[in-house]
Amino acid sequence: MNPFDLSGKVAVVTGANTGIGQAIAVALAAAGADVACVGRTPADDTVAQIRALGRRAEIVSADLSSIEPVQRVVDETLEKLGGLDILVNNAGIIRRADAVDFTEEDWDAVVDTNMKSVFFLCQAAGRHMIAQGKGKIINIASMLTFQGGIRVPSYTASKSGIGGLTKLLANEWAAKGINVNAIAPGYIATNNTTALQADEARNKSIVDRIPAARWGDASDLGGAAVFLASAAADYVQGHILAVDGGWLAR
């Protein structure tokens, strides 16, 4: 038996319309999973790619800036795809400003989306997974789970929080058959990092520090997601897997 085979599994991926979420959703489908693609904007392209692989895919519309749609995400997935085995909490936003100028609005917007909604979606999915005796939850962390960064205080706080939540949930749920882990992407070329890529000096300083000497591509995260979603990771709990081209090793 292939321990990485996800055939017969149903995954929920938030923020699945572009970038990291899209790449992870497609990678899970390529490994055999059916996928509920969750987001504010319809993930039509992602769904098309998944169906082209011969897997089922459905759109679940949800704005995760509040916890209002959280239970509905779980309910719609069960209704449309008949199960829920894997949850990938990828949806996230970022706001940039000097700490002395940072607004309450920018603080709340990021923390509500990146941490509060993540916890309550873990809770809603976790109730279902505990009842069935198994499940995999993968949170998307960040280099700023480990480091401070600059000019992104609410993002750093939220991603540091994701590291802690991942470990807490693993502590509570590991014995119930639920694996809770996280992936910490390094510098990945997506719409979230466009500003950094466009800043010539900042871009050079970033690439110069990455041992792999390049920005990551969203597809670089697919293998890590498949691993953590699969039976191959059954004894991996509370781990934050950096996929960073060696950034943290520097």
Tokens of 118: 């993540």
Rg of the chain in Å (alpha carbons): 17
Instruction: Please check whether residue 214 lies inside any domain of the structure.
Output: yes
Instruction: Return the H-helix or E-strand segment holding 88.
Output: strand 86-89
Give the length of the chain: 250
Instruction: Please check whether residue 190 lies inside any domain of the structure.
Output: yes
Tokens of 147: 């480091």
Check residue 195 and give its pLDDT: 85
The residue annotated as part of the active site, out of 119, 155, 215, 247, is 155
Instruction: Please check whether residue 34 lies inside any domain of the structure.
Output: yes
pTM exceeds 0.85 for this model = yes
Residue 37 structural domain? 10-244
Widest CA span in the chain: 56
**CATH number for 106:** 3.40.50.720
Instruction: Please check whether residue 5 lies inside any domain of the structure.
Output: no
Task: State yes or no: is 235 an active-site residue.
Answer: no
Percent of the chain past pLDDT 90, that is, above it, reads: 97
Instruction: Please check whether residue 250 lies inside any domain of the structure.
Output: no
Taking the alpha carbons of 32, 10, 50, 140 in that order, is the dihedral positive or negative? negative
Domains of the chain: total: 1
For residue 194, pLDDT beyond 90: no
Check residue 24 and give its pLDDT: 98
Tokens of 110: 């990021």
- CA-CA distances (angstroms) from residue 62 to 37, 43, 149, 231? 10, 11, 29, 29
Instruction: Return the H-helix or E-strand segment holding 157.
Output: helix 153-173
Instruction: Please check whether residue 3 lies inside any domain of the structure.
Output: no
Instruction: Please check whether residue 170 lies inside any domain of the structure.
Output: yes
Query: How far is it, in rounded angstroms, from Cα 141 to Cα 181?
Result: 10
Instruction: Please check whether residue 17 lies inside any domain of the structure.
Output: yes
Check residue 126 and give its pLDDT: 98
Check residue 29 and give its pLDDT: 98
